[in-house]
Amino acid sequence: MIRAPRSKSQIPDMTRLPRSFYFVSLGCPKNRVDTEVAAASLLAAGLVPAAAAEKADLLVVNTCSFVLDARQESIETLGELAAIKRSRPGARLVAMGCLAQQDPAWLSKAVPELDLIAGTGCVDRILPLLAGTTRIAIDVPTFLPDYDTPRVLSQSRAFAYLKIGDGCSRKCAFCTIPSIKGPFVSRPISRLVDEARQLCAMGAKELVLVAQDTTQFGRPDKHALLRLIDELERIPGIEWIRLMYLYPDAVGKSLLRRMAERGKLLPYLDMPVQHISDGLLRTMRRQTTARKIRSVIDSARDICPEITLRTTVITGLPGESRDDFADLLEFVETTKFAHLGAFAFSPEPGTPAASMPGQVAVEERNRRRAAVMRVQRYIARSYNRGLVGQAVRVLIEGDADPQQVPVCDVRGTRTPAGETGLVPDGPVSVGRIASQAPEVDGSVFVFGAQADGGQIVDARIAGYAPYDLVAVATAGKGARGRAGRAP
């Protein structure tokens, strides 16, 4: 295990190191937070961000290793940057993140141009490591920033991810995360509140709480997550609080009742169910049952009728029979999640599922995934159709190119055509309503908002596509205000 220098006296001589950097962040929002911390450490050392990889002295990829496709994307991205490095004498190439942590020796051979391979615990120490003599630096697997850890917001100023923990103590048979990141570790509530205040000062109006399993936060204290929400809701300037990655067996009625209170905590339940077959749930060590999953969904809709449901499912798990898949497809059709992602099973090396009997052919896994997504596309389109004509609050993330506005269906609109014409003749902004999480749930394109990123504007939905919406501002100038509610 290589431990990097931490004291300021050990910061390297900048005359020997790069002057500009370019980052590519792959994978999940937790990776995005680590990227933002790493970038801030480079800025603090005097480096400047380059507008393009071809103009940077330091090229960094924060890799993902969750499934085969993610590893392939990481290798392809590193290969592209390696080609740029070869054309720029003196440029340095760094791989950090989960793939670096999982198999640094293999990565070193796969991309020989790498100057540094930094594991998941070395997020804020890229420069000291580059100045050292080691090419591979693997430290403790988890990285938990403190409230005073420098960080930039690399996307919209409207929202920020708040990483409340790292690692995972679950033992799902198909997942590599526990072996890469180690057991779940929570951050102290007081430190999270301090960081949230700083993110708010940087312009964030929405906090998106993320971890590998958000419901593990503060365990064994079952009320820790609610106490954290209590504290975050007291921060002036924070308008929306969103929870992601909630495990089915740990979603209690107290949390659902809190979502129904119409406060800052949004009525949004992101609960990856993965499958609905009890046999497969047992085989995959999911520690839940089909009955429990259906019960949580029913409770959520009973307690909070306006709740938005998001989930993910996996097709082609080992032993998934035709009947199992038919049950999954029926579950998706009847439950009608507002948002759903599907993954074809990826047999990850070292996981129990990779060597289980009953492996489904790759082609069949992908065919089943495509079938799920065809059903979900219809459900999502129907869901969005039901929003047409509704008054909503939109959190603006920035300006949009009018050419990016999707081709929309306006059938069912309940507002005069003159007020909802879908040909923009003025500014177009892009944002989200409360039922849309950043990056995964689509966007709302708002005509006539004239609002800056981070403002919440009143609008009316005028058109819909399968995953995006078009709206028209109803109050002119963007107005800051309470989170309000949107379907």
* pLDDT at position 402 over 80: no
Taking alpha carbons only, the member of 181, 250, 191, 188 closest to residue 212 is 181
pLDDT band at 16 (very low <50, low <70, confident <90, very high): low
> In degrees, to the nearest 5, what angle opens at C-alpha 139 toward C-alphas 134 and 141?
145
- Segment 94-105, tens digit of pLDDT: 999 999 999 999
- Written as one letter, the residue type at 307 is I
CB 117 within 8 A of CB 100: yes
pLDDT band at 416 (very low <50, low <70, confident <90, very high): very low
**Mean pLDDT over all residues of the chain?**
88
* pLDDT at position 486 over 80: no
- Segment 140-153, tens digit of pLDDT: 888 888 878 899 99
Omega prior to 150 cis, within 30 of 0: no
* pLDDT at position 482 over 90: no
CB 242 within 8 A of CB 207: yes
Omega prior to 220 cis, within 30 of 0: yes
What's the rounded mean pLDDT across residues 112-127? 92
337's tokens: 């999640």
- Segment 210-225, tens digit of pLDDT: 999 999 999 899 899 9
pTM for the complete prediction?
0.89
* pLDDT at position 52 over 90: yes
329's tokens: 């497809």
- Segment 348-383, tens digit of pLDDT: 999 999 999 999 999 999 999 999 999 999 999 999
- Segment 312-329, tens digit of pLDDT: 999 999 999 999 999 999
* pLDDT at position 336 over 80: yes
Domain boundaries, the chain: 16-137, 159-385, 391-473
| CA atoms within 13 Å, Cβ hemisphere of 31 | 24
pLDDT band at 155 (very low <50, low <70, confident <90, very high): confident
- What percent of the chain clears pLDDT 90, i.e. is strictly above it? 74
pLDDT band at 133 (very low <50, low <70, confident <90, very high): confident
DSSP letter string, 132-167? SS-SEE---S-----TTS-----S-TTEEEEE-EES
The phi-psi region of residue 167 (left if phi > 0; otherwise alpha if psi is between -120 and 50; otherwise beta) is: left
Rounded Cα–Cα distance for residues 381 and 262 (Å): 26
Say what the pLDDT of residue 166 is: 93
Say what the pLDDT of residue 330 is: 98
345's tokens: 């099973």
Say what the pLDDT of residue 275 is: 97
What's the rounded mean pLDDT across residues 281-310? 96
* pLDDT at position 113 over 60: yes
Say what the pLDDT of residue 163 is: 96
CB 69 within 8 A of CB 58: no
What's the rounded mean pLDDT across residues 154-173? 92
**Collapsed DSSP state (helix, strand, coil) of residue 341:** strand
Tell me how far the alpha carbon of residue 389 is from its chain's centroid. 29
The CATH number given to 159-385 is 3.80.30.20
* CATH architecture designation of domain 16-137: 3-Layer(aba) Sandwich (3.40)
> In degrees, to the nearest 5, what angle opens at C-alpha 458 toward C-alphas 457 and 461?
115
CB 177 within 8 A of CB 148: no
pLDDT band at 414 (very low <50, low <70, confident <90, very high): very low
| CA atoms within 13 Å, Cβ hemisphere of 247 | 19
* CATH architecture designation of domain 391-473: Beta Barrel (2.40)
